[in-house]
Amino acid sequence: MLLSTRDLTKAFPGTKALDAVDFDLKAGEVHALLGENGAGKSTLIKCLTGAYRRDSGDILFEGQPIFPQSTLEAQAIGIGTVYQEVNLLPNLTVAENLTLGHQPRRFGIIHPRAMRAQAEDMLAGYGLDIDVRRPLEYYSVAVQQIIAIARAVHLSGRVLILDEPTASLDAREVQMLFDVIRDLRKRGLGIIFISHFLDQVYDISDRLTILRNGRHIATHPAAELDRMQLITLMLGHELQHETATRHRPAVDPTDAIRFSGMGRRGRIAPFDLTVHKGEVIGMAGLLGSGRTESAEVLFGAVPGDSGTAEDTNGPVDLRNPRAAIAAGFAFAPEDRKTEGIIAELSVRENIILALQARRGWARPIPQAEQSRMANDYIKRLDIRTPDADKPVGLLSGGNQQKVILARWLAINPRFLILDEPTRGIDVGAHAEILRLIEDVVAQGMSILVISSELDELVAVSHRVIVVRDRQHVSQLTGEDVTTDTIVRAIAAPEAEPGSDSAATREVMA
Amino acid sequence: MKGVFRRVAPQLFTLSAVIVLVSMFFPSFWQIVYVNDRLVGIPIDIVKRGAPVALLAIGMTLVIATRGIDLSVGAVMAICGASAAWSIDQGFGIWAALGIAGAAGLICGLWNGLLVAVFGIQPIVATLILMVAGRGVAQLITGGTILTFDNEAFAYLGSGTFLGVPVPAVIWVLTGIFFGLLVRRTALGLLVESIGVNLRASTLTGINSRVLLIAVYMGSGFCAALAGIIATADIRGADANNAGLWLELDAILAVVIGGNSLLGGRFSILASLLGAMIIQTINTGILLAGFPSEYNLVIKAVLVIIILVLQSPRLLPQFAVLWSRRRTSPQTKTLRAAMTEDRP
């Protein structure tokens, strides 16, 4: 084995990002690393490259344990990384970028001709016909990507980690990059490839490793795992037993919010949606499929450029979050840290914030009332905090999520959008949040749940909308709501690889 | 009240230390006499001369709490002072002069606020524009000369006394109380802290962050207008080139000495005001101590460095441990370390 990890574990406050992960990379293979957001891919990479220090476990390079403390040390050992955003210096020349840090010198100063020769030498074999004296930014992202690879291979030369390298390339450029990768594979490098374009994964990879919730789920040769099995492994089947207990309360067809033609160019194709009172709608789809974008349009977080919304009282204004909140909407975003919690403010202040914002600055909620509300929700949602005045940033992920839920429950919305409400949350809090959803729905609230965990969707939803390639492609209702049908809807019709990924990329750009 | 005292304890301690230091060089520091209906003494002089920086620090505290900065306040002082002097010169009377100066400050703040909140320009760059251009505007108003005027009522704002206390000191204390009540008796303070910590999350929570940001910069412009009025009234003339020159930096320093983070979030206006008084005590103290004037800036810099190092967040917990052992338990310490270190 070229590079292995054994029982690799890394925890962040409130969540185990990696839980005893075993991973093997052979020389001369392209090994794809797959998993949804928060599965642990980037944490694994960062542990391998020394950007994070692991909590426990071993990293073996050719059988020898290594302890990289920084990306520079990892490079010296032989592990090079190229990220999605090329991190070279666009205003320096190609030659300077390639030789930065080890420029050939004469009499103590840089020797331009030798530098150029060295740079051209480094690029030989990559099929690029470029002038190394030009600034890097003169060339396309694909060429920059290959230059970054050439630099990484030159400096490290054994293991190459490619993190979403194709995210901003077009179909032809992807092929160009893949030619380079195949060539490097032939030269005996071990290549770790991360991408959420499944077509590309199947196109280039020899083996696949799937991570979920920080755990190693499976490793298979790419040829032996079809797309459906892969998606099933990525999304998981962990809550199966709860499926039986789900109940579907009657829905009043007259009392509904109707969205029609809601969409935004480049983010999500126009879609229709009717949300009945007391209904839970699930939304499934892979990462980057347009789930979060749908929610953002519905809440006005990234307002739509088409479509209307109306309820029994007439049109609903969704220009911005303030308008949406005034209309009785609420949104718990996927990225809690940057879009949800106000880390430095206390649990109490975080809980009352939405209500205070709606009342306006001139009508402060009295201290006593704030404390009463905070303590009430801390008890009701079982938020684990020493007291209501602790900064919310000190709580664990699950408790932060409960604080955000409390914030929205405090304004008693009629339509609550939850984007990945249980991501990165321990099992106990997970079940409590699902129970909470059932409680508030019983009181007549409508909920849209976006989740990668299909069992969770099946357990709570009355119907499920499937999103693929930035479109709402199907809706499953009644007995059709099962993990199998959802997986099939996500994976089905397999488009022709080239055109499919090109289209996806176009809307993503 | 106890919470407020705990918050400003480092600033109170520093101020006391600086005063003790000055009294050692100048034993008659505390001699205050009452002559000609006014109090006279070094402490009185400090609270009077510290007025412009104290006023600027009030507005600056709010701007910094939103994770911004306002470099233009010195230039805005010049613009507002020039506007007031021009109005007096035109014979509009004192109330019109005050109104025009105040309006000029609010407009300057509105300009900064629009650049930051609507056009998304980084605050340091957005306010730099007015910092540079503002003195030009002030010169246009004064016609390039030092515009002097003769109006006792207006001059009273700079050099008069109220119950023996210099009017500038009365103005900054009242302004401080007004802004303090405004942010703490309404929800404004909480909302400002919220957008300072996390603008995106605050907007998604329904806070009207754009309007709030603009209002904060307008508040800073208004404080600068008050400072400009005092500076102009004090010398009975508007000097477009020198009024408020470099005071934006002293104001920022006052906010920082007040223990407010430049990264936004929690703020204390009282602590910034104490910071302004610490700076002015140092300034006055250096003059009193009779050092040759060329040493002044260097001595001030050394003292400021000492104060900031002593108040730094890394050292503060260790002092706190010495102070009272129960305050920082090892548990909260590790939590805090975890919070600042590992953000995946």
The rounded distance, in Å, linking the Cα atoms of A472 and B51 is 62
| Cross-chain Cβ contact B339/A356 below 8 Å | no
Same domain, A253 and A219: no
Residue A454 sits in the same domain as residue A395: no
Task: Say what the pLDDT of residue A243 is.
Answer: 45
Residue B337 has pLDDT above 50, yes or no: no
User: Is the CB of residue B263 less than 8 Å away from at least one CB of chain A?
Assistant: no
In this complex, do A321 and B266 lie within 8 Å of one another by their Cβ atoms? Answer: no
Whose structure tokens read 């105040």?
A: B102
Q: Does residue A389 sit in the same domain as residue A422?
A: no
pLDDT band for position B113 (cuts 50, 70, 90): very high
Closest C-alpha to A118, from A154, A148, A82: A154
Q: Could you give the C-alpha distances from A99 to A96, A124, A135, A141, A380, in angstroms and in order?
A: 5, 14, 13, 19, 60
Residue B336 has pLDDT above 60, yes or no: no
> What does the pLDDT read at residue A341?
94
Which residue is associated with the tokens 């090329």?
Answer: A86
Token duo for residue B254: 């006052």
Please tell me the distance in Å from A489's CA to the nearest CA on chain B. Answer: 32
Across the interface, do A321 and B206 touch by the CB < 8 Å criterion? yes
Q: Which residue of B has its CA nearest to A325?
A: B206
Q: What is the mean pLDDT of residues A463-467?
A: 93
State yes or no: pLDDT of B258 exceeds 50.
yes
- pLDDT (mean) for A187-200: 87
Nearest CB to A344 within list B187, B266, B338: B266
d(CA B281, CA B279): 5
**A335 and chain B: CB distance < 8 Å anywhere?**
no
Q: Structural domain tally of chain A?
A: 3
Q: What is the domain-level CATH number for residue A442?
A: 3.40.50.300
Strands A109-110 and A105-106: antiparallel
Asked if A13's CB is within 8 angstroms of B338's CB, the reply is: yes
Residue A314 has pLDDT above 80, yes or no: yes
Q: What b/e readout covers B297-335, taking b as 16+ CB neighbours within 10 angstroms?
A: eeebeebbeebeeebeeeeeeeeeeeeeeeeeeeeeeeb
ipTM of the complex: 0.86
Distances (CA, A) of B288 to B18, B282, B292: 13, 10, 10
* Beta-sheet pairing, A446-450 with A280-284: parallel
Q: Establish if B203 touches chain A: CB-CB under 8 angstroms.
A: yes
Mean pLDDT, residues B222-246: 95
Do A344 and B193 lie within an 8 Å CB cutoff? Answer: yes
Q: Which of B194, B201, B336 sits opposite A338 (nearest CB)?
A: B201
**Domain closes at, from A367, A397, A412:** A412
Whether A164 and A258 share a structural domain: no
| Residue A245 C-alpha from the chain's centroid | 30
Q: Name the residue with tokens 């230039």.
A: B75
B190 touches chain A (CB under 8 A): yes
From its phi and psi, is residue A176 left (phi > 0), alpha (psi between -120 and 50) or beta? Answer: alpha
Asked whether the beta carbons of residue B206 and residue A337 sit closer than 8 angstroms, the reply is no
pLDDT of the residue at A500: 41
Residue B222 CB partners (closer than 8 Å, separation 6+): B59, B102, B105, B106, B109
Nearest beta carbon to residue A12 from set B188, B208, B344: B344
Residue A259: the pLDDT is: 94
**Does B339 score more than 60 pLDDT?**
no
Could you please report the per-residue DSSP string of B284-303?
Answer: HHHHHTT--GGGHHHHHHHH
Residue of B nearest to A357 (CA): B207
| Spatial distance between the Cα atoms of A273 and A417, rounded to a whole number of angstroms | 13
Report, as an integer, the average pLDDT of A110-132: 87
Residue B324 confidence (pLDDT): 52
The predicted structure's pLDDT at residue B318 = 62
- Token match 């009463």: residue? A372
Chain pair A-B, CB pairs under 8 angstroms: 96
Distance from CA of B150 to the nearest CA of A (A): 42
- In chain B, the residue whose alpha carbon lies closest to the alpha carbon of A334 is B201
Three-state SS string over A27-94 comes to: CCEEEEEECCCCCCHHHHHHHHCCCCCCCEEEEEECCEECCCCCHHHHHHHCEEEECCCCCCCCCCEH
Task: Give how far B23 is from chain A: nearest CA, Å.
Answer: 40
| pLDDT given for residue B317 in this prediction | 60
Do the Cβ atoms of A353 and B194 come within 8 Å? yes
Per-residue confidence at B315, pLDDT binned at 50, 70, 90?
low
What is the rounded CA–CA span in Å between residue B86 and residue A80? Answer: 67
- Taking an 8 Å cut-off on Cβ atoms, the answer to whether A342 and B335 are in contact is no
Cα→Cα distances A73→A27, A78, A154, Å:
20, 9, 15
Adjacent-strand bridge partners of A415: A329, A446
Kindly state the average pLDDT of the residues A16-37. Answer: 89
Q: Which residue has the higher pLDDT, A471 or A85?
A: A471
What is the token pair recorded at A185? 């594979």
Output the pLDDT for position A501.
Answer: 40
Least confident of A396-405, A494-503, B300-309: A494-503
Q: Are strands A280-284 and A306-311 parallel, antiparallel or unpaired?
A: unpaired
| Exposed/middle/buried for residue A22 (C-beta within 10 Å: 0-12, 13-18, 19+) | middle
For strand B38-40 and strand B33-35, is the pairing parallel, antiparallel, or unpaired? antiparallel
Q: What average pLDDT does chain B have?
A: 89
Helix (H, G, I), strand (E, B) or coil at A492: coil
Query: In this complex, do A394 and B336 lie within 8 Å of one another by their Cβ atoms?
Result: yes
Confidence class for position B340, pLDDT limits 50, 70, 90? very low
Least confidently predicted of A436-440, A452-456, B217-221 = A452-456
Tell if the CB–CB gap between A357 and B205 is shorter than 8 Å: yes
Question: Chain B partners of A362 at a C-beta cutoff of 8 Å?
Answer: 186-187
Partner-chain contact A345 B194, CB within 8 Å:
yes
User: Nearest to residue A215, comparing CAs of A201, A234, A241?
Assistant: A234
pLDDT number for residue B335: 44
Closest CA to A78 of A154, A148, A159, A24: A159
Do A195 and A231 share a domain, yes or no? yes
DSSP class of residue A346 equals B
Say if CB B260 and CB B268 are below 8 A apart: yes
**C-beta separation of B29 from B197 below 8 A:** no
Considering only A79-83, A179-183, B292-296, B337-341, which range has the smallest mean pLDDT?
B337-341
A349–B194: do the CB atoms touch at under 8 Å? yes
Q: Give chain A positions within 8 Å (CB) of B339.
A: 13, 343, 391, 393-394
* pLDDT over 90, % of chain B: 73
Question: In angstroms, what CA-CA distances link B301 with A158, B15, B73, B278?
Answer: 53, 16, 22, 13
Question: If you measure CA to CA, which chain A residue comes closest to B189?
Answer: A361
Would residue A420 count as lying in a domain? yes
Among all chains, which residue has been given the structure tokens 């000609």? Answer: B36
Tell me how far apart the alpha carbons of residues B340 and A393 are, in angstroms, rounded to a whole number: 10
Which pLDDT score is estimated for B233?
Answer: 95
A467 interface with B at CB cutoff 8 Å = no
Interchain pair B205, A13: CB under 8 A? no
Of A339, A345, A365, the CB nearest to B204: A339
Is B201:A340 a contact under the CB 8 Å cutoff? yes
The answer to whether the CB of A182 falls within 8 A of the CB of A215 is no
CB contact A363 to B (< 8 Å): yes
Instruction: Considering only the beta carbons, identify the residue of A43, A342, A393 that sits closest to B344.
Output: A43
Does residue A213 sit in the same domain as residue A259? no
Average pLDDT over residues A324-338: 92
Same domain membership, residue A282 and residue A421: yes
Dihedral, A221, A227, A232, A233 alpha carbons, nearest 10: 20
Of A214-218, B122-126, B180-184, B266-270, least confident by mean pLDDT is: A214-218
- Contacts with B205 from chain A: Cβ below 8 Å: 321, 342, 353-354, 357, 407
With contact defined as beta carbons under 8 Å apart, do B179 and B172 qualify?
no
Distant-in-sequence contacts of A291-296, Cβ < 8 A, 24+ apart: A291/A419, A291/A450, A291/A467, A292/A333, A292/A334, A292/A419, A292/A450, A293/A264, A293/A267, A293/A268, A293/A470, A294/A262, A294/A268, A294/A450, A294/A467, A294/A472, A295/A331, A295/A333, A295/A417, A295/A419, A295/A448, A295/A450, A296/A267
B204 and A CB contact within 8 Å: yes
First to last CA, chain B: 38
A342: closest chain B residue by CA:
B198
Q: Does B343 touch chain A (CB under 8 A)?
A: yes
Instruction: Give the strands of the sheet with A64-65, arranged side by side.
Output: A15-25, A3-12, A56-61, A64-65
Q: What is the mean pLDDT of residues A15-35?
A: 90
Task: Assign A248 a pLDDT band (cuts: 50, 70, 90).
Answer: low
Q: Which residues contact A354 (CB under 8 A, 6 or more apart)?
A: A325, A330, A407, A408, A410, A411, B205, B206
Nearest to B198 among A342, A349, A356 (CB): A342
**What pLDDT does residue B199 have?**
95
Task: Indicate whether A311 belongs to any domain.
Answer: yes
A318: three-class secondary structure by DSSP: coil
A394 and A407 inside one domain: yes
Q: Are residues A139 and A251 in the same domain?
A: no
pLDDT averaged over every residue in chain A: 86
Which CATH number applies to B2-312: 3.40.50, 1.10.3470, 3.30.1490, 1.10.10? Answer: 1.10.3470
Domain that holds residue A351: 340-412
Q: Determine, for residues B187 and A363 on separate chains, whether the beta-carbon distance falls below 8 Å.
A: yes
Q: For residues A302 and A386, state if they share a domain.
A: no
Please, what is the angle between helix B247-257 and helix B73-89, to 10°? Answer: 130
Q: Are A113 and A99 in contact (CB under 8 A)?
A: no
pLDDT at B321 exceeding the cut of 90: no
A346 and A458 part of one domain: no
Q: What backbone torsions phi and psi does residue A207 show, to the nearest 5 degrees? A: -130, 155
> Is the Cβ pair B344, A17 closer than 8 Å?
yes
What is the token pair recorded at A327?
A: 């209309």
Is the same domain home to A380 and A359? yes
**Torsion angle, CA of B192/B198/B204/B206, rounded to 10 degrees?**
-10
pLDDT at A251: 63
Q: Over 80: is that where the pLDDT of A253 sits?
A: no
User: Is the residue at A10 inside a domain?
Assistant: yes
Query: Could you give the residue ranges of the DSSP H alpha helices within A365-478?
Result: 367-380, 397-409, 427-442, 454-460
A345 at interface of B, judged by CB pairs closer than 8 A: yes
A358/B contact by beta carbon, under 8 A: yes
Question: Would the CB atoms of A356 and B190 count as touching at under 8 Å?
Answer: yes
Domain boundary among A176, A200, A235: A235
- Compare CB distances from B193 to A42, A340, A345 and report the shortest one's residue: A345
Instruction: Tell me the per-residue pLDDT of B144-194, one tens digit each, with 9 for 90 and over.
Output: 889 999 899 999 999 999 999 999 999 999 999 999 999 999 999 999 999
Would the pLDDT of A171 be above 80?
no
In a domain, A129, yes or no: no
| Percentage of chain B modeled with pLDDT above 70 | 90
Of A245-259, A262-276, B236-250, the range with the lowest mean pLDDT is A245-259
For A394, the closest of B266, B335, B343 (CB atoms) is: B335
pLDDT number for residue A496 = 39
The pTM score is 0.75
A55 interfacial to chain B (CB closer than 8 Å): no
Q: What are the residue boundaries of the structural domains of chain B, listed by start?
A: 2-312, 316-344
Run of H or E including A207? strand A207-212
B206 vs A345, A357, A362: nearest CB:
A357
Whether A244 shows a pLDDT value over 80: the answer reads no
